[in-house]
Amino acid sequence: MISEKLKDIIINEDCNAYFDEPMSLHTSFRIGGKTDCFCEVNTVESLRKIIACCREENTDYFVIGLGSNLLVSDDGLDGIVIKLGGDFEEITLEDDCTIRCGAGVSLAKMCLFAKNKALGGAEFAWGIPGSVGGAVYMNAGAYGGEIKDIVVSSRYLDENGNIGEITGDQHDFSYRHSFYSEKKYTILDVCVKLSPKSKNEIFYLMQDTMDKRKKKQPLNRPSAGSVFKRPEGYYAAALIEDCGLKGVSVGDAQVSEKHSGFIVNNGRAKAEDVKSLIRKVQDVVKDKTGVELECEVRFVGNK
Ligand SMILES: Cc1cc2nc3c(=O)[nH]c(=O)nc-3n(C[C@H](O)[C@H](O)[C@H](O)COP(=O)(O)OP(=O)(O)OC[C@H]3O[C@@H](n4cnc5c(N)ncnc54)[C@H](O)[C@@H]3O)c2cc1C
């Protein structure tokens, strides 16, 4: 439940708010029950006021990026889901090679901006359907590149409303992990450092990355990308396939026929279906190979 006071702040701060909003509309899996309020926040000041009120009133809040790495419970999410829009979607050239991206900027927009400025190094991110904030939180990566390779600094808002900044190693990046992974901080913006490269070369690298994705990934079905982290010394997809799990389903959730590391939603999959399928895959792979598959997808919500 959202209090009248919180509602007033949301309205007065000109946020776009949707009450009793199905999270299935905001996740790439197209799964998830309702949240009390889905709120697009446009400025740091509005964000600060909303979080302060949530803390005061013990209302849960969750900051979402583009929802491409989330499995939201069928019972939804209590409280408020905050999406960063407005000022957080701005992208600027700070100096010759440094780009500042608001955390709500999509990786696609960042890649295109970099290409148009003839700056290379971000091509690996082309095709990852997340935001810059989500990519830093997760240390997203693909085809030999990771966000950690290009991030030089980031600014955040902590739970007490203080703005902080971290640089370089302070991000504590490792495989699908960052300084932010265990914190309830909101990433505000991120500076990435790139290097001069011809637009042509960047364009063809981006094309190549996208071609590989189209060839290998089930992009025509809702999913959250690779469900499992890569276990040391193995590939999750190969293990799953070798265990005979390709195409196995629970309800409308299915281990993709095209890429066994993906679980796809064939229409009406529930979060519970996906969770059961994940458990099944983990159990069979552990039994047959001894390898424990750890989830990369984040579970959020009431159950
Ligand atoms: C088809 C497909 C392909 C994919 N390919 C890849 C790939 O190649 N490599 C890869 O790494 N991932 C991949 N993913 C997964 C996903 O796109 C990445 O993990 C991405 O970085 C998630 O970003 P997001 O904005 O969608 O974050 P969300 O899924 O919305 O959130 C993920 C986490 O980040 C947190 N978060 C988001 N924004 C902020 C913020 N501003 N401040 C604080 N916390 C924040 C959320 O609270 C949540 O805990 C793929 C997904 C799909 C659907």
Over residues 238-295, the pLDDT tens digits come to: 999 999 999 999 999 999 999 999 999 999 999 999 999 999 999 999 999 999 999 9
Query: CA 113 to CA 119: how far, in whole Å?
Result: 9
What does the pLDDT read at residue 50?
97
What does the pLDDT read at residue 85?
98
* pLDDT over 90 (residue 302): no
Over residues 78-90, the pLDDT tens digits come to: 999 999 999 999 9
What is the pLDDT of the chain when averaged over all its residues? 97
**In this structure, CATH architecture of domain 4-86:** 2-Layer Sandwich (3.30)
C-beta 187 within 6 A of ligand 1? yes
What does the pLDDT read at residue 94?
96
Which of 213, 225, 191 lies closest to 114 in space, CA to CA? Answer: 191
In this structure, the residue with its CA closest to atom 2 of ligand 1 is 225
303 — pLDDT class (breaks 50, 70, 90):
low
Domain locations in the chain as residue ranges: 4-86, 90-203, 218-300
Domains 4-86 and 218-300 share a fold: no
Residue 12, classed as helix, strand or coil, is helix
Over residues 145-156, the pLDDT tens digits come to: 999 999 999 999
Give CA torsion, residues 69, 133, 233, 215, to 10 deg: 60
293 CB neighbour count, 10 Å cutoff: 23
H helix intervals, the chain: 4-12, 44-57, 107-116, 132-138, 199-216, 236-242, 271-289
What does the pLDDT read at residue 106?
98
Nearest ligand 1 atom to alpha carbon 176: 11
C-beta 69 within 6 A of ligand 1? yes
Cα-to-centroid distance, 120 and ligand 1 (Å) = 22
Over residues 162-203, the pLDDT tens digits come to: 999 999 999 999 999 999 999 999 999 999 999 999 999 999
Q: Residue 82: how many CA atoms within 13 Å on its side-chain side?
A: 28
C-beta 129 within 6 A of ligand 1? yes
C-beta 135 within 6 A of ligand 1? yes
Cα-to-centroid distance, 28 and ligand 1 (Å) = 10
Residue partners of 184: CB distance under 8 A and separation at least 6? 158, 159
Cα-to-centroid distance, 17 and ligand 1 (Å) = 22
What does the pLDDT read at residue 89?
98
Q: What is the pTM of this model?
A: 0.97
What does the pLDDT read at residue 1?
84
Over residues 104-130, the pLDDT tens digits come to: 999 999 999 999 999 999 999 999 999
Which residues are annotated as catalytic? 176, 226, 296
Residue 110, classed as helix, strand or coil, is helix
- Whether CATH 3.65.10.10 fits 218-300: no
> CATH top-level class for 90-203?
alpha beta
